[in-house]
């Protein structure tokens, strides 16, 4: 076939690869495993690349009754974390001929308004990050497949739940500070009614309770720097033994703690050790750089999209939480 004369078809790919059109459909639809060999699949992919073949998604969607569009609902776009979740989800979606629409819910944790005249007609499924499932009723009704991210697996209304091992991240932070000799802690907690923040509070309390002589006070703050400044300054100035270490639910809360410490004449880490969660770009912009729990946002999004694809295809999604890792930097040291 003369290149550029007409749009290549699946029949052209089949002839070039020496296989049937059915085999081409299986391979390019990513349903070939167990049906054709790896060698044959690679031959089909190579022929498609050489010919510049692209599946006619519109025609295929009509046959399947699908839009091949997924909605990713996030609480907000105030940090790059949720941008990373989108990047990961969109990457996997593109590999399977799907598109992802990003929708930051105006109400944060819900309820989220339906951004379409009828989401059930416009979408194949929903991935919702860090939101209560009942906040999504207007979007998905009872029909659209739902995958929940960062949500209680025991109470999830989704067909699948994908989580980071946030409890282990808090354990790592607490154990690091305990090993340095800290016994008096401040937990600067996100003032958000969400499962993920409940997990952080419970895990921290449980870990510190295992060590005699520890104390922890809790201060709540909205997830933004100025709110954290106010909350941290008040907590660090309160009567009683001053905490020597602050465990923050989020890197933005840690940044607010830095500002509060400076206002009080406290040096980090000499007078006060600080840890965060997320490992945002902000963590290395602070001085000293922040010890924080690294969350792989892109992998989180990838796993969420793969879980939704599995649900759509009637397969069991990958099990197990995504590991997290405490990154040690200059904001922690032993108490004086």
Candidate ranges 7-16, 57-66, 260-269; pick with highest mean pLDDT? 260-269
Burial degree of 21 (CB within 10 A; 0-12, 13-18, 19+)? middle
The crossing angle, in degrees rounded to 10, of helices 21-28 and 10-17 is 100
Judged by average pLDDT, the poorest of 23-32, 44-53, 118-127, 178-187 is: 118-127
Tell me what pLDDT residue 193 has.
Answer: 83
> What is the pLDDT averaged over residues 34-59?
79
Tell me what pLDDT residue 66 has.
Answer: 64
- Is the pLDDT confidence value at 63 over 50? no
> What is the pLDDT averaged over residues 5-29?
82
- With a pLDDT cut of 90, the percent of the chain lying above it is 53
What is the location of CATH 1.10.260 in the chain? 10-55
Q: Is the pTM of this model over 0.85?
A: no
- Is the pLDDT confidence value at 48 over 90? no
* CATH number 3.40.190.100 is the correct assignment for the domain at 166-294: no
Tell me what pLDDT residue 2 has.
Answer: 42
Instruction: Mark residue 52 as left, alpha or beta (left: phi above 0; alpha: psi -120 to 50; beta: remaining).
Output: left
- Identify the band that residue 118 occupies on the pLDDT scale cut at 50, 70 and 90: very low
Domain spanning 67-163+298-320 has what CATH number?
A: 3.40.50.2300
Q: % helix / strand / coil in the chain, to the nearest 5?
A: 40, 15, 40
Q: What is the DSSP string of 31-83?
A: --TTTS-HHHHHHHHHHHHHHT----HHHHHHHHT---EEEEEES--SSHHHH
Tell me what pLDDT residue 21 has.
Answer: 81
> What is the pLDDT averaged over residues 74-82?
79
Contact call for residues 134 and 110 (beta carbons, < 8 A): yes
Q: 10-55 has which fold?
A: 434 Repressor (Amino-terminal Domain) (1.10.260)
Contact call for residues 159 and 146 (beta carbons, < 8 A): yes
Question: What confidence tens digit (pLDDT) does each residue in 174-208 have?
Answer: 999 999 999 999 999 999 888 899 999 999 999 99
What is the location of CATH 3.40.50.2300 in the chain? 67-163+298-320, 166-294
E strands within the chain? 69-74, 99-104, 125-129, 146-149, 160-162, 184-190, 215-221, 245-248, 273-278, 291-294, 325-327
- Identify the band that residue 5 occupies on the pLDDT scale cut at 50, 70 and 90: very low
Alpha carbon distance, N-terminus to C-terminus of the chain: 78
Alpha-carbon 111 to chain mean position: 20
d(CA 130, CA 188): 19
- Identify the band that residue 243 occupies on the pLDDT scale cut at 50, 70 and 90: very high
Tell me what pLDDT residue 142 has.
Answer: 54
Tell me what pLDDT residue 169 has.
Answer: 97
């Amino acid at each position: 076939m003369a290149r550029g004369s007409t749009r290549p078809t699946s029949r052209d790919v089949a002839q070039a690869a020496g296989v049937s059109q059915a085999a081409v459909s299986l391979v390019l639809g990513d349903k070939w495993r167990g049906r054709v060999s790896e060698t044959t699949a690679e031959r089909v992919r190579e022929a498609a690349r050489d010919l510049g073949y692209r599946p006619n998604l519109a025609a295929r969607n009509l046959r399947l009754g699908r839009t091949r569009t997924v909605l990713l609902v996030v609480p907000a776009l105030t940090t790059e974390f949720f941008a990373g979740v989108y990047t990961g989800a969109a990457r996997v979606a593109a590999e399977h001929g799907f598109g992802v629409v990003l929708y930051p819910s105006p109400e944060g944790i819900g309820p989220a308004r339906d951004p379409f005249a009828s989401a059930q007609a416009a979408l194949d499924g929903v991935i919702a990050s860090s939101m209560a499932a009942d906040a999504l009723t207007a979007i998905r009704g009872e029909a659209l497949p739902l995958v929940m991210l960062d949500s209680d697996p025991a109470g999830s209304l989704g067909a699948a739940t994908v989580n980071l091992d946030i409890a282990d991240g808090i354990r790592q932070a607490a154990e690091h500070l305990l090993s340095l000799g800290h016994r008096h802690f401040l937990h600067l907690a996100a003032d958000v009614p969400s499962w993920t923040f409940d997990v952080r509070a419970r895990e921290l309390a449980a870990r510190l309770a295992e060590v005699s002589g520890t104390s922890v006070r809790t201060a709540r703050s909205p997830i933004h720097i100025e709110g954290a400044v106010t909350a941290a300054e008040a907590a660090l100035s309160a009567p009683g033994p001053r905490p020597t270490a602050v465990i923050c639910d989020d890197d933005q809360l840690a940044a607010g703690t830095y500002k509060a410490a400076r206002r009080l004449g406290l040096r980090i880490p000499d007078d006060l050790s600080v840890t965060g969660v997320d490992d945002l770009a902000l963590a290395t912009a602070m001085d000293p750089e922040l010890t924080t729990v690294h969350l792989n946002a892109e992998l989180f999004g990838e796993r969420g999209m793969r879980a939704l694809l599995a649900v759509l295809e009637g397969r069991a999604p990958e099990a197990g939480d995504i590991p997290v890792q405490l990154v040690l930097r200059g904001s922690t040291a032993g108490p004086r």
